[in-house]
Amino acid sequence: MGVTPRLAAAPGSYAVTWPFSDAEVTFGADRLRSHSDGRLQARVRITAHIDGEQLVLHHGALNLAAGRSRSGLSKDLEGRLSRDSLNWDQVIEESCRLILECEEQGSPTNRLQPVASIDVKYMLGRLVLDGLPVLSFAPGGQFKSFVSIYKALLIENGLPFQGEETRQANTLILDWEVTEQEAARRCTMIANGLRQTYIGADIKFPLYRRCVGPIQDEASDIAKVIAKHDVKFVVVDSAGLACGGDVASSELTIQFFNTLRKVTASTGAAADIQTHTTKADRREENHHRLPIGSIYWENLARITWELRSEQERSGVYRLGLFPRKCNMGHLEPVGLRMVFDRDALLVEPGLAIDVGTEQGVLQALIVSELERGPAKIAELVEATGATDGAVRTALTRLKKDGRADNPDRGVWTLTGEGEPA
């Protein structure tokens, strides 16, 4: 054919251009997703530029590794655009081969070199590692989303955290949990609180992407955003939906971390992954809760933080962030105090040692269950793994605090006070 194609690779996408004498054909592929059976699925868009006009000849999914799929596409294109100089079989085969080789070659092998400092690098206090994933977990209603947005706002604006300077970096929230409107509401509340602390500060909001499918399906689009905006910190809220729904699957968990590493590779972005806890069957002897699902959520995250909260009074909460696993040395718990004040949420330093009693954790688990709907005591006992007496005591405390009630005899519901996240 005598034509040499040009391959352009960008985060999450490829473009193979064929400069023929009477047409320029471009084979574009993005949203690549590898499968365990060897398939490499991609969204393929094939265009031809002829006499200043662009023709879209194909736009759809293609298994790049399947000969039958490639052959079928070649025949279809031959019927759409026929040229003496254009051999569609070669265009499709060679384009797929070039992309497959790029996907398979991986990272280069280099000899390690001495570094100037052996200190572990963090982005925000000791909460966020530079360039590596950490996992934050708690039952529902423990302010995980609020805390993750708070981290993103501090990093986005280079604001100090508990006396330590923060290097400014662009941030991105990947949200599978709530709507963009709700995320913006929470972000606005925290930003209003920061403006009270840093009077006159112009608070910049993080980038935001509402996600609807597993991260593997949206990987190329996410990678493009991270590369385009030089994002250095990514919030994943939350792990269950991001990995495809089955957090107990080792295969899906490993695939999630591999995909996350791939989409952040262009900038070396750090990640803060949000997830939930399980009930008593995943509770350690010292009452430390563990993240829900496969053991790989703990193993592949470099640090895991357990969040616990207790209500101090109406609209005021104490939070404790406890390092349950750390590959980077010993870490101390971190305490926060959250004050809901009209349209603002003020986040202040607190004492982590004041948070985390077993009764407080049981209350959090009960609140998480009641968020799903009304429940009887026996149902709450089964869901939390606690004793009947402990559940009754916790419900009495929640009722006294105005957070739960039993208007129907024996059936408990939430009153709606507070800000679950």
Q: Of 73, 103, 133, which one is at a domain's C-terminal end?
A: 103
Cβ–Cβ < 8 Å for 395, 412: yes
The confidence score (pLDDT) of residue 108 equals: 80
* Encoded amino acid at 56, one letter: V
| H or E element, residue 195 | helix 180-197
The confidence score (pLDDT) of residue 342 equals: 86
The answer to whether position 116 is within a domain reads no
Q: What is the mean pLDDT of the chain?
A: 89
Q: Is the pLDDT assigned to residue 85 strictly greater than 90?
A: no
The confidence score (pLDDT) of residue 416 equals: 62
The confidence score (pLDDT) of residue 348 equals: 94
Considering only residues 297 and 359, tell me which one the structure prediction assigns the higher pLDDT: 297
Considering only residues 41 and 403, tell me which one the structure prediction assigns the higher pLDDT: 41
Give me the residues paired with residue 134 across strands.
272, 303
d(CA 45, CA 149): 36
46-67: pLDDT as tens digits: 999 998 899 999 999 999 999 9
If asked whether residues 136 and 251 sit together in one domain, one would say yes
Burial class (CB in 10 A: 0-12, 13-18, 19+), 235: buried
If asked whether residues 375 and 315 sit together in one domain, one would say no
Mean pLDDT calculated for residue range 312-317: 88
If asked whether residues 241 and 331 sit together in one domain, one would say yes
15-57: pLDDT as tens digits: 999 999 889 999 999 988 887 788 899 999 999 999 889 999 9
345-402: pLDDT as tens digits: 999 998 876 555 566 667 777 887 888 789 999 988 888 777 888 888 889 888 887 8
Collapsed DSSP state (helix, strand, coil) of residue 19: strand
Q: Is the pLDDT assigned to residue 272 strictly greater than 50?
A: yes
CATH number of the domain bearing residue 308: 3.40.50.300
Collapsed DSSP state (helix, strand, coil) of residue 8: strand
The answer to whether position 182 is within a domain reads yes
If asked whether residues 289 and 409 sit together in one domain, one would say no
If asked whether residues 300 and 368 sit together in one domain, one would say no
The confidence score (pLDDT) of residue 281 equals: 41
The residue range of the domain holding 268 is 122-352
The confidence score (pLDDT) of residue 356 equals: 54
Across 68-82, 115-129, 304-318, least confident range: 304-318
Q: Is the pLDDT assigned to residue 280 strictly greater than 50?
A: no
If asked whether residues 366 and 341 sit together in one domain, one would say no
The answer to whether position 212 is within a domain reads yes
Q: Is the pLDDT assigned to residue 81 strictly greater than 70?
A: yes
If asked whether residues 138 and 201 sit together in one domain, one would say yes
The answer to whether position 344 is within a domain reads yes
Percent of the chain with pLDDT over 70: 94
If asked whether residues 270 and 131 sit together in one domain, one would say yes
Strand 170-175 with 207-210, pairing: parallel
Q: Is the pLDDT assigned to residue 283 strictly greater than 60?
A: no
CA distance to 56, 154, 159, 161, 170, per residue, from 201 (Å)? 48, 12, 10, 15, 17
202-243: pLDDT as tens digits: 999 999 999 999 998 899 899 999 999 999 999 999 999 999
d(CA 119, CA 379): 49
Domain count for the chain: 3
